[in-house]
Amino acid sequence: MKFLVLGATGRTGVLFVKKALDQGHQVTALVRRADAIVDSRTQIVSGDVTDAAVIATAALGHDAVISTLGVKNARETPTLVTDTVRAVIASAKTSGVDRFVVVSAFGVGDSLAKASFLVNPIFRTVLRKTYADKAASELLLRASNLKWTLEYPGALNDKNITRYTAVTLEDATKLPIFPSTSRANVAEFLLHSAVQHTFIRQTVIVTDTK
């Protein structure tokens, strides 16, 4: 398969790109700067991830768009995720690529009600602005015609954990008090969902399995 990756230079994006390439897939990375450091096997396209025309051109001939974008500073880019999702939705009309697999976060939107007393306050305060942007973007996504999948990992870690549990938001009844997910597992779920065409138009909570 051929994937267009947004956020390919981030810690999760790098893992996804490597996993996809190692399994024989083709990857195009849409990056801000042409000199961005990515896997040498990757095709690089430079441009703005919030520009629908740029995404449409880059996505042409691909099977899916994968987003591992993260926001480093919510004050500087308070609507980055929403603007990017809006651009991806618009780009599909030109590129014809309607499969979109996205990393979001547990605690966003309706999943907040399923968070434990330990982490709920963090989502409502420290991460409030970042999560508000994600939630707004997901309203656009759900109203679109795209074949989207939203991945909700717990707190990200860099542990070498290769087993994970994936459950749809609707079916999640018993979750860890402090959900945690390795970046490797986040990337693995993204790739599996894209390749196997699973969890279409569903939100999935992904957590490490000990």
CATH number of the domain residue 52 falls in: 3.40.50.720
Q: What is the pLDDT of residue 128?
A: 67
**Predicted confidence (pLDDT) per residue in 57-86, tens digit:** 999 999 999 999 987 776 777 799 999 999
pTM greater than 0.85:
yes
Contact 50, 85 (CB under 8 A): no
**What range defines the domain where residue 92 resides?**
2-208
The C-alpha atoms of residue 4 and residue 197 are separated, in whole angstroms, by 16
| Mean pLDDT in residue range 170-194 | 93
pLDDT of residue 127: 61
Average pLDDT over residues 28-54: 94
Distance CA 40, CA 2 (A): 16
Listed residue (33, 53, 49, 72) closest to 137, CA to CA: 49
Tokens of 148: 């989207």
Cβ neighbours of 210 (radius 10 Å): 8
Q: Are 46 and 32 contacting, i.e. CB atoms less than 8 angstroms apart?
A: yes
- pLDDT at residue 114, as a whole number: 73
Q: Which helix (H) or strand (E) holds 22?
A: helix 11-22
Distance between CA 26 and CA 20 in Å, rounded?
7
**C-alpha span between 166 and 128 (Å, rounded):** 25
CA–CA distances in Å: residue 21 to residues 2, 40, 58, 95:
10, 10, 18, 22
The residue type found at 31 is: V
Q: What is the pLDDT of residue 173?
A: 85
How do strand 26-31 and strand 2-6 relate by DSSP bridges? Answer: parallel
Beta carbons of 178 and 124 less than 8 angstroms apart: no
Q: What is the pLDDT of residues 50-63, one digit of tens each?
A: 999 999 999 999 99
3-state secondary structure of 71: coil
Neighbours of 163 (CB within 10 A): 10
Q: What's the average model confidence in pLDDT over 146-153?
A: 98
Domains held by the chain: number: 1
Q: Which whole number is the average pLDDT over 86-112?
A: 93
For 30, residues 6+ apart whose C-beta sits below 8 A from its C-beta are 4, 5, 6, 8, 45, 46, 47, 49, 54, 55, 58
Q: What angle do CA 23, 38, 205 make, to 5 degrees?
A: 60
